[in-house]
Amino acid sequence: MRDASKLTDRHRAKILVIYIRQSSYAQVERNRESTARQYDLTGRAAELGWPKEAVLIIDEDLGLSGSGSAERAGFARLAAEVGLGHVGLILSLEVSRLARSNADWYRLLDLCALTGALIADVEGIYDPADYTDRLALGLKGTIAEAELHVLRERLHGGIRNKAARGELRFGLPVGLIWGESDGQILAHPDEAVRGAIGSVFDRFAELGSVRATWIWYRDQGLPFPYHDGRGGDVQWVTPSYLQIHRILTHPAYAGAYVFGSTRQERSIDEDGRLHTRRRRLPMEEWQTLIVDHHCDQAYLTWDTYLANQARIDTNIRPQAHEPGTGAVREGCALLQGLAVCGRCGRKLAVHYNRDYSTPGYHCNGRNLAEGRAERCLSIGGMQIDQAVAEAFLAALTPAGVEAALVAAEAVIADRDAALSQWRNEVERARYQASLAERRYMAVDPDNRLVARGLEADWEAKLAALAAGQAELARKEAARPTDLGPDERAALVRMGNDLDRVWQAPSTTGRDRKELLRTLLEEVVIDVDRDAGQARLTLRWRGGALSEVRVTLKARQPTIRTDDDTIELIRRLACHHPDGTIAGILNRQGRLSARGQPFNAAIVQGLRHHRGIPRYQRPDDSPEGEALPLYQAAKQLGLVPSTVYRWINEGFIPAEQDTPGAPWRIRMTDQIKALFVDDTPPGWLAMLEATMALGVSRQTVLQRVKRGELQAVIVRTGRRKGLRIQVPEPNPTLFNPNQSTKEAV
């Protein structure tokens, strides 16, 4: 190592730091010689004159890249030690070990130049404060960063080139595997896996929603194949929503080879920490897209895949003024996702009454009118839904027979798909049981330690097989029979009377909304309250428009006291008569349903109508009962104004049923003990207490309220008022007389 003359006693008086780093955990595991060479730098530190106890090894960053993309605790520790002036020399195998990012590299150089620390590698010792050495270090840092860039570009270029040919191998989703040829992708050889994946696309085509498809799987109790994408064995688990969504949105199932569909983005938070995340890119920004890469092994066509993505996108709740109806959801609101405000063009939101039996529609766009925020539109949904349903059924009548037959066949196909899945599950369970049996039979009978474990596994597999067979038998028994001539004739008659099918109890609100969306794109609703009409513009698929007018029911005036006032009267009636309650309500500024001030008669009428019992005055006043203020003052021997003053001061606990209600005090022994006729010995008045404690009057009052000081109220004599028990002062450095006397 050259230029050892730059080292002085000033440098050797500080510590020497050996910084050790390798870029990845794979290098740590495989390239152990490099790690050993870095740890061997301790011998070089001894040659330079540093004792062993003055050498600090920082190796927390083993397995982390020095490109600046990862947070390095070891480098941060090194920078902190240099900044504190503790480091005389930084020693590493090459300076590129310290940093391959110019931002980190020049920050370290600046700290070293300020504190006089040197940097050394196997080629020499450099002083960052010296212009020539700093120029050499800067050149080395630039070369290290450029070298990393070149290596990365070479690697990524090869990856992109291989991906452009469709030959780059990466983790495939469940149901697809890599073949032996370059870029060959095959369907999974397990028929049960293929059947489970295919059933997802079949159910989505029928239900039209990712969530509905997932719920169907959960309701059927079917297990689902899963693997982590790293080539492990397929496991059968309860499906999650994310699994179903990934299958429906992954283009590999449509025979496409896709690379570069995500992009890594970096951001800095408010604390200055670097964060990275993966963002999914739109299809037009994918780096590689080969549509017909393995179409012979695909589960669906590319056109079907694109149609599914468009359908999933429309299921997302649309924003204002954006197209889309959203997924069909539960509830009886027929126009959920279809209704549009005729005034501002926003999608109408749905609301229900308390038992969810009556729907309504409202626009969330608000207009400011006369200082109040009012909804742009709000209307009940019963008449609107009925009018739209009548128009829909009138348009659907010619296709009624065909729709009825298709619906019946869809029910049978749905059950058959579930049964096929269960048959595959039973077959798989039978194979697992047979495999466990063969393993048990092949073991040495004398090796009981192994035999007992295999026997338990065999029994578990047999139990799983029995459970699967029982569930399959139950589902086969519940399967509807195929349609015969009589059933088809009945369906034809029913199809000619779609109105009965529409109103049938077995037809759910979800079914009606699915049917409605087959012909309708949206329904524009506008309300004219003055004319008492709602104008509905129905936009049919294909562009046709039709208009329906609905006569609205006239609003009936309602005279009803608000629930908050009724609940307040219910609480007050337990403690006060009707006249007192009326006074409390008037002090709070409340008015009756007719806009009049309350009186005893109005309160009495409300009580009788609501079934609220009247106030019963107690015969006696036992201790602990909440008494009105004047009764409490009488028991305490004070005037009510004095009691009220001590309540405001916070010395007497009292309660109010509501703001404006009379105060009530619970007369307990503790309350009575606060009032005495004579001053207790040693207790001080307020002025004397403030002087003894050396604090203000307000501070004394606060300590009494917090319970730090004991206080009573003297109610007789010329010096009535508060008396406070002041504790004896503790001996301090400036008042040692008391402790000195006790010691003597």
* Final residue in a domain of this structure, among 294, 315, 336: 315
Residue 321: is its pLDDT beyond 60?
A: no
Counting other chains too, the contacts that 539-544 makes at CB distance below 8 Å and 24 or more residues apart are 540/395
| Helical spans, DSSP H, in 397-543 | 400-442, 448-477, 485-495, 498-503, 509-517
Q: Are residues 57 and 148 in the same domain?
A: yes
- Assigned token pair, 392: 């829909």
Residue 253 in any domain: the answer is: yes
* Final residue in a domain of this structure, among 457, 476, 498: 498
**Highest mean pLDDT of the ranges 12-16, 93-97, 351-355, 657-661:** 12-16
Q: In the predicted model, what is the mean pLDDT of the chain?
A: 78
| Apex 79 CA angle, 78 and 82, nearest 5 | 85
Q: What are phi and psi of 77, to 5 degrees?
A: -65, -40
Which residues form the domain of 588?
Answer: 563-610
Instruction: Name the pLDDT band for 744 (thresholds 50, 70, 90).
Output: very low
Instruction: Name the pLDDT band for 567 (thresholds 50, 70, 90).
Output: confident
**Residue 262: strand, helix, or coil:** strand
**Residue 422: strand, helix, or coil:** helix
**Residue 42: strand, helix, or coil:** helix
**Highest mean pLDDT of the ranges 80-94, 213-227, 415-429:** 80-94
Q: Are residues 134 and 42 in the same domain?
A: yes
CA–CA dist 671, 679 (Å, integer) = 17
The tens digit of pLDDT for each residue in 600-633 reads 888 888 888 878 888 776 655 545 566 777 777 7
Residue 717 in any domain: the answer is: yes
CA–CA dist 586, 664 (Å, integer) = 19
Q: Are residues 652 and 703 in the same domain?
A: yes
Maximum Cα interatomic distance, the chain, rounded to a whole number of Å:
120
- Ranking 43-57, 290-304, 589-603 by mean pLDDT, the lowest is 589-603
Residue 89 in any domain: the answer is: yes
For residue 739, the model assigns a pLDDT of: 41
The CB density around residue 229, as the number of other CB atoms within 10 Å, is 11
Per annotation, catalytic residue among 5, 23, 199, 420? 23
Q: What are phi and psi of 87, to 5 degrees?
A: -105, 130
Q: Are residues 144 and 183 in the same domain?
A: no
Q: Are residues 145 and 180 in the same domain?
A: no
**Burial class of residue 23 in the structure, from the number of CB atoms within 10 Å of its CB (0-12 exposed, 13-18 middle, 19+ buried):** buried
For residue 15, the model assigns a pLDDT of: 92
Counting other chains too, the contacts that 567-574 makes at CB distance below 8 Å and 24 or more residues apart are 568/658, 569/603, 569/606, 569/607, 569/610, 569/612, 570/610, 570/612, 571/657, 571/658, 572/657, 572/658, 572/661, 573/607, 573/612, 573/613, 573/614, 573/615, 574/615
Q: Are residues 8 and 129 in the same domain?
A: yes
| HSE, side-chain direction, 13 A CA sphere, residue 169 | 14
Residue 427 in any domain: the answer is: yes
Residue 266: is its pLDDT beyond 70?
A: yes
Residue 308: is its pLDDT beyond 70?
A: yes
Instruction: Name the pLDDT band for 372 (thresholds 50, 70, 90).
Output: very low
Residue 45 in any domain: the answer is: yes
Residue 332 in any domain: the answer is: no
**Residue 368: strand, helix, or coil:** strand
Which among 106, 108, 128 is positioned nearest to 118, based on CA atoms? 128
| Apex 331 CA angle, 549 and 211, nearest 5 | 125
Q: Are residues 581 and 706 in the same domain?
A: no
For residue 87, the model assigns a pLDDT of: 92
**Highest mean pLDDT of the ranges 191-205, 313-327, 354-368, 381-395:** 191-205
**Residue 150: strand, helix, or coil:** helix
For residue 417, the model assigns a pLDDT of: 65
* Final residue in a domain of this structure, among 474, 498, 522: 498
Number of compact structural domains in the chain: 5
Could you tell me the CATH number of the domain that includes residue 308?
3.90.1750
The CB density around residue 259, as the number of other CB atoms within 10 Å, is 17
Q: How distant, in Å, are the alpha carbons of 70, 269, 337 from that of 274? A: 8, 7, 41
Could you tell me the CATH number of the domain that includes residue 73?
3.40.50.1390
Instruction: Name the pLDDT band for 493 (thresholds 50, 70, 90).
Output: low
Which among 550, 500, 552, 511 is positioned nearest to 332, based on CA atoms? 511
For residue 481, the model assigns a pLDDT of: 55
Residue 16: is its pLDDT beyond 90?
A: yes
CA–CA dist 744, 741 (Å, integer) = 5
Residues 6+ positions from 266 with CB-CB distance below 8 Å:
69, 274, 275, 276
Query: Which residue is it, tokens 């989703």?
Result: 173
The tens digit of pLDDT for each residue in 694-743 reads 888 878 777 877 777 777 777 776 667 777 778 776 555 445 444 433 43
Please compute the mean of the pLDDT values over residues 567-592 and round it to a whole number: 81
Tell me whether strands 118-121 and 124-126 are parallel, antiparallel or unpaired.
antiparallel
Please compute the mean of the pLDDT values over residues 521-536 and round it to a whole number: 82
Return the DSSP state at 22.
Answer: B
Residue 377 in any domain: the answer is: no
CA–CA dist 626, 12 (Å, integer) = 82
Tell me whether strands 235-237 and 176-178 are parallel, antiparallel or unpaired.
unpaired
> Residues in the chain, how many?
744
CA–CA dist 386, 380 (Å, integer) = 11
- Element (DSSP H or E) covering residue 382: helix 382-396
Q: Are residues 67 and 183 in the same domain?
A: no
**Residue 129: strand, helix, or coil:** coil
Instruction: Name the pLDDT band for 391 (thresholds 50, 70, 90).
Output: confident
Q: Are residues 14 and 125 in the same domain?
A: yes
CA–CA dist 679, 712 (Å, integer) = 8
Residue 739 among the catalytic residues: no
Q: Are residues 92 and 151 in the same domain?
A: yes
Helix 578-587 and helix 563-572: axis angle, to 10°? 130
**Highest mean pLDDT of the ranges 155-169, 349-363, 478-492, 553-567:** 155-169
Residue 738 in any domain: the answer is: no
Q: Are residues 145 and 198 in the same domain?
A: no
The CB density around residue 653, as the number of other CB atoms within 10 Å, is 11
Query: Which residue is it, tokens 């990934």?
Result: 246
CA–CA dist 504, 105 (Å, integer) = 76
Please compute the mean of the pLDDT values over residues 547-575 and round it to a whole number: 76
Q: Are residues 483 and 577 in the same domain?
A: no
CA–CA dist 702, 237 (Å, integer) = 64
| Helical spans, DSSP H, in 221-301 | 241-249
pTM above 0.75, yes or no: no
| Helical spans, DSSP H, in 251-352 | 302-315
The tens digit of pLDDT for each residue in 102-157 reads 888 888 999 999 999 999 888 888 999 888 888 988 888 888 888 878 887 888 88
Find how far residue 170's CA is from the centre of its chain.
Answer: 31
**Residue 125: strand, helix, or coil:** strand
| HSE, side-chain direction, 13 A CA sphere, residue 526 | 11
